[in-house]
């Protein structure tokens, strides 16, 4: 295996699909694989939580109406666990009401997609979520390098006396 191929394997993201409808689960898996992601899947909320804790996927696509434990409660549990709280969750549901969407975001979901969805829409939302996660990680790394002293406002607090917010190399 070449170095480029090995790096590509390391960079591959894994998406956990938690969807109880077998046809929809298969469709989402095929779409994610077609977009270059590895996939694992669960058929209910409890299995989804267990897989997330065991396998540490990079992202979770979660239905709301699931047997055993609904997607909102599963998302809440994932966001309370130290080992899974950083994994972004995208809710994918036929429910369109504002209350359900709001409950999903309160539970910790990063995005909400309604069924039926377009192929491009699902893939684009996954890509946007990965970009958002990377940006957040970059900001956290920058903040750590600055020992938490970086000012992320428009100007550093003592702008006249500084040429950079953080003089440590990143």
Q: pLDDT tens across 58-73, in order?
A: 999 999 999 999 999 9
pLDDT at 5 over 70: no
Give the three-class secondary structure for 8: helix
CATH classification for the domain delimited by 11-118, as one of 3.40.50.2300, 3.40.50.970, 3.30.470.20, 3.40.50.1820: 3.40.50.2300
What confidence tier does 146 reach under pLDDT thresholds 50, 70, 90?
confident
Residue ranges per domain, the chain? 11-118
CA distances from 46 to 71, 73, 78, 142 (A): 9, 10, 11, 36
pLDDT grade, residue 137 (50/70/90)?
Answer: confident
């Amino acid at each position: 295996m070449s170095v480029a191929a090995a790096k590509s394997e390391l960079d591959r993201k894994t998406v956990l699909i938690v969807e109880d409808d077998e046809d929809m689960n298969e469709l989402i898996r095929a779409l994610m694989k077609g977009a270059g992601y590895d996939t694992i899947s669960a058929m209910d909320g409890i299995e989804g939580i267990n897989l997330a804790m065991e396998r540490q996927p990079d992202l979770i696509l979660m239905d709301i109406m699931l047997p055993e434990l609904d997607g909102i409660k599963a998302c809440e549990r994932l966001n309370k666990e130290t080992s899974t709280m950083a994994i972004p969750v995208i809710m994918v549901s036929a429910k369109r009401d504002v209350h359900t969407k709001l409950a999903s975001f309160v539970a910790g979901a990063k995005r909400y997609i309604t069924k039926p969805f377009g192929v491009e829409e699902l893939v684009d939302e996954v890509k946007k979520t990965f970009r958002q996660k990377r940006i957040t990680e970059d900001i956290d790394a920058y903040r750590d390098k600055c020992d938490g002293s970086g000012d992320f406002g428009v100007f550093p607090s003592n702008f006249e006396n500084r040429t950079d917010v953080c003089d440590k190399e990143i």
